[in-house]
A and B are shown apart, each in its own frame.
Chain A
Amino acid sequence: MTRRLLDIGVLGSVVLLAAAGLGWTAAQPGDQPAVNAVFRALDVVIDSGESELAAYQFELRVPKGVELVGVENGEHPAFAKAPYYDPRALGGGRIIIAAFDTGDDLPTGKTRVCRVHVRETVPGARYNIKLTVAADADGRSIEADIEIHEE
C-alpha cells in the first residue's frame, strides 16, 4: 500500500515536472502564434491651468489585448527624470506612475508628464486613466486634468 502511494507520488511529481517543462517550452516567444501587434506611445498630459505642477500621480489601466511595455520621462525639465513606477506592472494591465520636482522651474498649463509604451494586439483599444494626485510646490492639492494623446 505504502509502496503504491510512493509510486503514485513519484509518478505525479514526474508528470508535474514534465508538464511544467512543456508549459515553459510552450511559452517561448518563438512558439507563439503570430499576432498582429502594434507598438504605440501614449503621451500622458496633465493640464494644471495656472497652477504650477510639482507632483503628480495617476493610475492607468489598459484593456485586454494591450500590454504595458515601457515608461519614459516627460518633456518639461521638472519631469525629465524617469518617473516612479512598479516594474512588475510591465507586462500587465495596470500601472501607477508618479513623479515630483522640488525645484523652482515648474510647468503650468498642459505638459506631457510622461510617455507610456504599449503593445496592442486588438484594434481600437480604449484606456482608463485617473489622476490621483496633483500638487503645487507647497504640496497643496491643485485642480488639474489628465488625458492621453495617442501617437
Chain B
Amino acid sequence: MPERHERQPEPTFPDRLAEDLRSLLRVDLPVPGEIEDELVSLAGGRLSRRGRLRLHARRAGPLAAAAGLAITAWIGLWWMRGVGTGPALSPPGQASAASIFDIDASGRVDVLDAFIVARALHQGGMTDRKWDVTGDGAVNRLDVDAIAAVAVSIVRGTSS
C-alpha cells in the first residue's frame, strides 16, 4: 500500500512569547556620529572595490574568448603543419641541397643518402662529422635511420 504524505499545518508562534523575546533582545545602544561615518565610508570603499572587480571581469570575458580562439588557431596550425613530427626540413618534395640530410648533395634526400653513411659505417671507413644529423656527437646507425626516415617521410617526402 502506498504511503500517503499529508501536509501538516504550520506551527504557530504565540504572540505573547514573541513580544517577550523581542524586548529581551532589543539593544538600544547609541552609536557616535564619527564611528557611524567611519563605518559607512569603509562599507562604501568595499563596495566600490567590488565594482572595479566586476568591471575587470567584464573586460576579461572578451579577452579570454580571444585568447581561446588564438590558442585554438595555433593548435590547428601546429597540427596541420606537422610541427614536432620530425626535424626541421625543407618544404615537401623540395629538400634543398643545403639540407643536412642530403649527404650526396644531389638536391634531394633519398635512401642513397642513408646508404652512403651505412656503407661507410659497415666498411669501417672515414665518416664525416656532418653526417651526425642527430647531433649526439657520433656518426652511427641512429643517423642512418634518421636520414632514411626523412627520405620516406610523406609530410616532407622527397620523391620526384
Q: Nearest Cβ in chain A — how far from B57, in angstroms?
A: 9
Chain A residue contacts of B68, Cβ below 8 A:
9, 13
Of the candidates B65, B85, B153, B159, the one whose C-beta lies within 8 Å of that of A132 is B159
B114 at the interface (CB under 8 A from A): yes
User: Cα distance A97–B111 when bound, in Å?
Assistant: 9
> Contacts A98-B111, A98-B148 known; A92 to B61 CB distance under 8 Å?
no
Of the candidates B119, B122, B149, B159, the one whose C-beta lies within 8 Å of that of A84 is B149
User: Cα distance A133–B157 when bound, in Å?
Assistant: 14
Q: Nearest Cβ in chain B — how far from A10, in angstroms?
A: 9
User: Which of under 10, 10 to 19, 20 to 34, or 35 or more describes the interface residues of A?
Assistant: 20 to 34
10 contacts between A and B (CB under 8 A): A2-B62, A5-B65, A9-B68, A84-B151, A85-B152, A95-B154, A96-B157, A98-B111, A98-B151, A139-B112
Chain B's interface: helix, strand, loop or mixed, by majority? helix
User: Which of under 10, 10 to 19, 20 to 34, or 35 or more describes the interface residues of B?
Assistant: 20 to 34
A86 at the interface (CB under 8 A from B): yes
Of the candidates B65, B119, B159, the one whose C-beta lies within 8 Å of that of A57 is B159
Judge whether B152 and A102 touch: CB under 8 Å. no
> Contacts A6-B65, A132-B110, A132-B160 known; A86 to B118 CB distance under 8 Å?
no
A117 at the interface (CB under 8 A from B): no
Judge whether A9 and B65 touch: CB under 8 Å. yes
User: Cα distance A132–B160 when bound, in Å?
Assistant: 7
